Amino acid sequence: MFNGGNMNMNGMMKKVQKMQKQMQQMQEEIKQRTIDVTSGGGAVKITMNGEKEVKNLVIDPAAVDPEDVEMLQDLLSAAFNEATKKVDEMMASEMSKLTAGLGLPPGMF
């Protein structure tokens, strides 16, 4: 009986190692992906990569009103928050694909 358990443990370890390798590959791929978001009807556009680095920021000159700097700040905040949320969702989606079939509780990764 113990010997059979040992084989199951070896099989499980191989699965874990394979998953770790796949996870590393997935993380590298996600770093290269980008998402694009806009706020204010396109007044602010942000491109963010999977490492949550802003790769591009475009502000429509019409959104720059010296009399209403707060509006521009709100548009920027909304765009950054949305971009970060989308990157998190992209990562969660890819992670769930990777861990499917392992029987892990939802939200574990």
Give the domain extent around 15.
2-97
Answer whether 56's CB lies under 8 Å from 49's CB.
no
pLDDT at position 101? 62
- The answer to whether position 47 is within a domain reads yes
The reply to whether 105 falls in a domain is no
Average pLDDT over residues 62-70: 94
Domains held by the chain: number: 1
Residue 22 is assigned to a structural domain of this protein: yes
> Distances from the Cα of 52 to the Cαs of 6, 18, 55, in angstroms?
42, 26, 9
Residue 109 lies in a domain: no
In a domain, 91, yes or no: yes
Any domain includes 107: no
Q: What is the CATH number of the domain that holds 25?
A: 3.30.1310.10
pLDDT confidence bin for 15, thresholds 50/70/90: confident
pTM above 0.85, yes or no: no
Count Cβ neighbours within 10 Å for each residue of 11-41 and write b for 16 or more, e otherwise: eeeeeeeeeeeeeeebeeebeeebbebbbbe
